[in-house]
Structure 1
Amino acid sequence: MSDAFESEEFPDRMPLSMQAMAVRGTPYLEDLNPAQREAVETLDGPLLMLAGAGTGKTKALTTRIAHLLNTGTARPNEILAVTFTNKAAREMKSRVASLLGQTIEGMPWLGTFHSICARLLRRHAELAGLKANFTILDTDDQLRLLKQLIVAGGIDERRWPARQLAHQIDGWKNRAWTPDKVPASQGSVFNNRGAEIYGQYQERLKALNAADFGDLLLHMLEIFKKHEDVLGQYQRWFRYILVDEYQDTNVAQHLWLRLLAQAHGQICCVGDDDQSIYGWRGAEVGNILRFEKDFPGAQVIRLEKNYRSTPQILNAAGGVIAQNRGRLGKTLFTDRDEGEKIRLIGHWDDGEEARWVGEEIEALHAGTRGMRSFELDEIAILVRTSFQMRVFEDRFLSIGLPYRVVGGPRFYERLEIRDAMAYFRLAVSPEDDLAFERVVNTPKRGLGDRAQQKIQISARDNGVSLIEGARTLLAAKGLAGKGAGELLKLINLVAAWHAHVAEGTDHLELAGRILDDSGYTEMWQNHRTPEAEGRLENLKELVQSLEQFENLQGFLEHVSLVMDNDSNDAGKKVVIMTLHAAKGLEFPAVFLPGWEDGLFPSQRTMDESGAKGLEEERRLAYVGLTRAEELAYVSFAGNRMTYG
């Protein structure tokens, strides 16, 4: 494959194919509203396309690319167009091709930050101490390498797990901090050795001729800073820069873009400060708020005509987001009819909330609410956090309402829930071999494949269950070392739990004790990552849900029955997803449950980030409301026994 850049300078004469394209008309401009058209035709200088929810920002951005090409203003390989997902990049290229009525070839620099930086870094790998064929590590490889460094450093991995350090290093790279740039206040994490191990990790990566995802951009940023000739080369080549979802950029991405654009100022960023909701993974809303300061002479064009929602929905969303101080400001309007008022409903508890949502969905589907009938896949339930899904899944499974969870497995199919229920099954029935198999080495007990194979052989030879086979194996001293001691401890714990079940010990208390005694809760606590926090919340929700049942047996039977009622048949289903996962999507009818202090806005977010966190929570509420096209329901519960 030939290089996208054949020579450092382009010939003065435009290729004939480009000349032919340039003399064609511009029919694609006719479908744009005045603000969109202004944004498309403003080709000189920095431009911020401040695009509200549902205002056709993708249409405006892709039409701008088409216009650059169609007018001969830029060649395809002179345009750097950056997105956050491969799906968005494919859609952008497809839309440009459809606008120009031909397949657009030679747009090599339309892609994600990672994909573009990976290609650039391979061209200049030696400047980062790498070879051009460097390996890009996945998460598992990264964790394995960090574990080696933690062990070599004599650090207790149970207290300071590799996954926590990986999360911290990723955060530093998002902020464009190399090991020597990490502030002392930040580097003191991880038993005062965070920055030190970060440096060792980077050296080890170089020795392995490897880079992680954060390095792809960080290395290119450092190369641009240290090698002006390389930066200048790309500043000349990338004559026009376009960035989608600018409000989601982190510090490193912002600095990289600013360096590329500083020579010519031909940068167009599209975004909505009111939809900046990914601060927890490094997004910096200040990037879009400071656009006019960072790019002198910049124009800001507001896309405010909404094509999605009714005035009622837009007014409510606008009222919420207007409370934020850190915003550029815009007022959305629409030509649509006034529409239904947003319904705000309070409930006694989350169980009643789920029952009401289920009944309302059935009524909407049947068309008995004095309006049109809604298909099930036109209805979405958007929750603040994943543990909220459980009560809706339980309700929908019990009444046979088809649903699907987007962005992750259903509640009872989640890893941590299946593990916990396997422990509960062992407490009820120690002879449950499938449950024993699942948790015998979770958390790690030094019982790998060879040890488990010995247990299975012992059970088979003696015609007993796995747990009895394990007991027999230990009695015969067929296992030694740490694994033997941990296995004996597990066997004794299961016996004690089973005795408590037989005695009728309070099953909520017992469930919590099982997860604690087994070390399972501690395993996730030690991860200290947002993902682990979510899993711990799900475990608390699982234990709390036991309150509805007389005992563990009744609960396990309920789960088996409702899961058996679930149909995997293709068909239209209600969508359940988190608010974060819903960004960029739209549904005719949206249910927004759990809008109560502590849950939404999230108490943890406010505790950690104060007023800044509250503003991000408001932006998340704004995103939720503006997903709705026709109907929006907001509900809250007076009692939500989330944390036991």
Structure 2
Amino acid sequence: MPIRGGYSVTSEQERIIDHVVAKRVTVVSAGAGSGKTYTMIATVMELIEMQPDTVRLDDFVLITFTNKAADEMRERLEKAVTEKMTKAQGQGLDNEYERWMVQKERITSTFIGTIHAFCSKLLRAFGYEERVAHEAEVLMARRYYQEALDQTLLESLQTPDEVFLFRETGLAPYELKKMVTSWYERLRGRGRQPKIVLEETLRQPHDGNNHYRVAVARMLERLHRNYERVKQERGGVDSNDLLSKTVALLDKQKEHVNKLIGSLFRYIFVDEFQDTDRLQKQIIQSLEPYVLKVLMVGDRKQSVYEFRGAEESILQEMAIEMKVDLLLLSISRRPTATLLEAQNALFQNMGTRYPVLKDLLSNPPDARYPTDRMVPFRYMHVTGDPRDMQSRIDLTKSIVRRYLRQEIDRSGLRKVRLNDICLIFRTNEALQAYATAFQGEFSIQLDNEKGFFQKPEIVGIYYLLQAIVKYPNDVTVALLQNSPYLPFTSPFVTHTKNPAIHPLWDWLRQDTKAKDWYAGMMEIRHRAKSELVPPLLVRILEFTKVREYYAGKGNLQAIANIEKLLSWSRDLMHAEALTLHQFVERLQIAFLTDESMEEAKIGESSVDAIRFSTVHAAKGLEYPIVIIPEMQRPISNTEYSPEFFDIREFGIDLALEGSNRSIIGSSDLYNQWLAQYNENLRKEEARIFYVGVTRAENVICLIGGGYNPSKINQKYWSWKDEVVSAASELTSLGESKVVLSL
């Protein structure tokens, strides 16, 4: 096999690496399990090997979709460099050993992280151009949004052109808050300015319903103004600001800032580019002329974040706009040869409806042919009322028991274990229902949980660290009041716009009951100059006595979560020696991006457990046996219609339920938007199904229900109908490879 960067690579990987070496821009469509990260690491190593005296690791920006993926890439890069050092040392090549030693030392200063973390880094260095405060002024802005939302709704209630929305929809305040928030987040996720959306909506023809649409557009524009005002006053940013302000910075200051960035970073590599939104795409395009090379890798078939503004076409668009070919990485080592044959039969049929799925994966020359007797692809059906979930749960349990009695070929035959099996679900509701039913009989582990970094005990530590690094900023410490981390309340309003005045800190320094707390904070500030983060966190837990507080409340989960955060800090220190300021920045990104992490396990836990995951949480992972229940779930419900559309050049369209249950707010074009929405939804659901099926390494088992298993339901199309449509292609492979209970 060819060697690049010291790695054995396939002919496809060789072509991609050589393209990066020869060209400025490379765009790659990489299938599931085709070795995207492996190829990126090999490319980095090849560029260094070709010019060992001029190319440095910290010349690279390696952008990943999640912080977990960033940590994994850093570990793999460190391993690759260490192996180079070991080899050089073993061969007595002292100069080469020294060169790789220098590269290893540069890993800590190499940027490896999410696009939000990269934008945060740029704004901290150059953000003054966009009136973004330096590090001492930046805060998490989530609670400020609620303040802006409350103010907006109060103003709308006092505005004649908007108050009728409350009356005619009959929505309770909390319901309207939820709806307005979802609409606002949708606009921002798509890079839309509420002011422009309002202008577009005002230009719509008067059709008897447009006053509803204009009222909503005005409300969203007012919300945006209020939110921006509050953030500017308090020094807050959110995850969208990191992107939008970076775009504005790079656009307005391209001849100054972009050149400086290009002198700091010479290579930009982006993984999972198919999940990039328009703002992120603009950032990469703005920087491309100022760096030596750009590599973008993704899989159009795994673009499943349309609700965040990602678009399946963005990878192809980038290749066209950059005037380069879209290179393919299609050899997959994840599935066995027999499973891949069945998967391709399914996807080939689906490709007739969804052209993006036509790019099939292929086997490597040394493909795995398992020696066990397990059927690689199976569909099981419970005939009956589709509302009867319990019968499908019972079938799923029986299938799991059957698998646990069998042998599986995992580099040799052995018994199937619990942790070989992952149940993957489309919705959290189904996952929770199955998890509850399984808990009494099986050890299980939930992988769908997000929000670890939003838990009160973790938020408290975050605010406390912010107060330490931003001392003497009163706004930061005010967030801690009446929490276990600061159980005192100041006798006055603490907010001030004058950065030279610090009444809250002055009060804490002088108040007798806060004496020990204040002394603890000052001690941490002093120790932070010389100590690593983990011992600083331990000291914080000691002087705040927060573990004792939660113990007194009987909240063992909170204590376990705090200990997990401490362990997380140690893991980060092992990968990279972070200062306290850098750790707080890393923690802030975890907040802003709602990084996925499970809560800590309490009590006895077993590594040998069945995994329960949503499709989105399972993305990027792989399991020997994958079971996907609830295949009959309709992709779209024809009795439900989205209540909000944002159409470029048109503005807002609505379908709100009035107090008399009639639909209000719709334009004459609403049904056209709805048809396009349903078409896009079906395409995305096909890609989500693709992600779920391609998590399997040895076996995929699909389970559905309904009265007629072999009938295709056009009205309520489901993943089951995708399988039924491909029944002929699948069954032609023979019962040793495919079993369909239709």
TM beyond 0.5 = yes
Equivalent-residue separation in structure 2 for 1:189 and 1:86 (angstroms): 40
**Which residue matches 2:64?**
83
Give the whole-Å Cα distance in 2 for the aligned partners of 1:116 and 1:392. 39
Q: Is the 8 A contact 2:5 2:44 kept in 1?
A: no
Q: CA deviation at 1:363?
A: 1.7
Give distance in 2, aligned partners of 1:118 and 1:161.
32
Conserved 8 A contact 2:31-2:329? yes
Deviation at 1:63, TM superposition (A): 1.6
Structure 2 counterparts to residues 139-150 of structure 1, below 5 A: 139-150=142-153
CA distance in 1, matches of 2:621, 2:156: 46
Contact 1:320 1:618 in 2 (8 A): no
Tell me, yes or no, if structure 1 residue 588 matches structure 2 residue 613: no
Residue 205 of structure 1 corresponds to which residue in structure 2? 231
Q: Paired residue for 2:688?
A: 620
- 2:330 is matched with which residue? 304
How far does the alpha carbon of each residue in 1:517-563 deviate from its partner, in whole angstroms, 9 at most, with x for none?
A: xxxxxxxxxxxxxxxxxxxxxxxxxxxxxxxxxxxxxxxxxxxxxxx
1:3-402 mapped onto 2 (5 Å cutoff): 28-42=5-19, 43=21, 44-72=23-51, 74-101=55-82, 103-105=104-106, 107-132=109-134, 133-154=136-157, 158=173, 161-182=176-197, 184=199, 188=214, 190=216, 192-228=218-254, 229-263=256-290, 266-296=293-323, 298-310=324-336, 311-319=340-348, 321-325=350-354, 327=356, 329-334=358-363, 335-337=367-369, 340-347=375-382, 348=384, 349-367=388-406, 372-398=414-440, 400-402=441-443
Aligned AA for 2:421? I
What is the TM-score normalised by the length of structure 1? Answer: 0.65
Q: Does 1:408 align with 2:449?
A: yes
The 1:607–1:362 alpha-carbon spacing in structure 2 relative to 1, beyond 3 Å, is: farther
- C-alpha distance after superposition, 1:148-168 (max 9, x if no partner): 343345376706644544443
Return closer, same or farther for 1:27/1:243 CA change in 2, 3 Å cut-off.
closer
Query: Which AA in structure 1 matches 2:319?
Result: E
User: Which is bigger in relative contact order (C-alpha 8 A, separation at least 6)?
Assistant: 2
- What TM-score does the superposition give when structure 2 sets the normalisation length? 0.57
- Aligned residue for 2:530? none
Q: Once the two structures are superposed, what CA deviation does each residue of 1:2-49 show, in whole Å capped at 9, x if it has no partner?
A: xxxxxxxxxxxxxxxxxxxxxxx9774442111112222322221112
Post-superposition shift, 1:390? 4.2
Distance in 1, Cα, partners of 2:614 & 2:641: 17
Residues 188 and 246 of structure 1: CA distance in aligned 2, closer, same or farther (over 3 Å): farther
**Aligned equivalents of 2:124 and 2:450: distance in 1?**
36
Looking at structure 1, the residues matched to 111 and 607 of structure 2 have their Cα atoms a distance apart, in angstroms, of 39
In structure 2, distance between residues paired with 1:571 and 1:236: 47
Decide whether the 8 Å contact of 1:63 with 1:96 is kept in 2.
no
- Of 248-257 and 88-97, more deviation after overlay is shown by 88-97
Bigger shift: residues 89-98 or 591-600: 591-600
Deviates more, 1:603-612 or 1:41-50: 603-612
SS of the residue 2:700 aligns to: strand
SS at match of 1:631: strand
Q: How far is the alpha carbon of 1:374 from its aligned partner?
A: 1.1
1:633 to 683, 701, 705: 701
Q: What secondary structure does 1:105 align onto?
A: helix
* CA distance in 2 between partners of 1:618 and 1:234 (Å): 39
Q: CA deviation at 1:54?
A: 0.6
Shift of 1:308: 0.9
Q: Taking structure 1 as reference, are residues 139 and 209 closer, same or farther at Cα in structure 2, changes over 3 Å only? A: closer
CA–CA distance in 2 between the matches of 1:383 and 1:601? 18
2:381 partner SS: strand
> CA shift at 1:586, angstroms?
0.7
Residue type at the aligned position of 2:265 = F
Counterpart Cα distance in 2 of 1:250 and 1:633: 33
Give the Cα separation in 2 of the matches to 1:354 and 1:567: 27
Letter in 2 for 1:224: L
Aligned equivalents of 1:41 and 1:328: distance in 2?
27
Per-residue deviation, 1:269: 0.5
Q: Which of 578, 586, 589 in structure 1 is aligned with 2:614?
A: 578
The 3-state SS of whatever aligns with 1:404 is: strand
Superposed displacement of residue 601, structure 1 = 9.4
CA distance in 2, matches of 1:376, 1:599: 30
- Aligned-partner SS, 1:285: coil
| Partner SS state of residue 106, structure 2 | coil
Instruction: Give unpaired runs (5+ residues) of structure 1.
Output: 1-24, 415-565
Q: Percent identity?
A: 22
CA contact (8 A) 1:179 1:199 kept: no
Aligned CA-pair RMSD: 3.4
Cα deviation, 1:56-88, whole Å, max 9, x if unaligned, reads 111001221222233236333332221122221
Q: Which amino acid aligns with 1:617?
A: E
Q: Residues 149 and 104 from structure 1, CA distance in 2 versus in 1: closer, same or farther, beyond 3 angstroms?
A: farther
Q: Cα offset for 1:402?
A: 1.6
Deviation sequence 1:483-502 (CA, Å, 0-9, x none):
xxxxxxxxxxxxxxxxxxxx
**TM-aligned CA distance change 1:632 to 1:32, over 3 Å:** same
Write the distance in 2 (CA, Å) between the matches of 1:405 and 1:580.
13
Deviation at 1:146, TM superposition (A): 2.8
1:434-445 → structure 2 map (5 Å cutoff): none
Change (3 A) 1:369 1:97: closer
Provide the rounded CA distance (Å) in 2 between the counterparts of 1:173 and 1:626: 31
Deviation at 1:567, TM superposition (A): 8.4
SS in 1 for 2:697: strand
8 Å contact from structure 1 (residues 313, 632) kept in 2 = no
User: Residue by residue, what CA displacement relative to the aligned partner does 1:345-400 show, whole Å, maximum 9, x if unpaired?
Assistant: 110342221111111111211228998521101101111112212442343234x1
Q: Using the alignment, how far apart are the partners of 2:416 and 2:118 within structure 1?
A: 42
* Shift in CA distance, 174/389, structure 1 to aligned 2, threshold 3 Å: closer
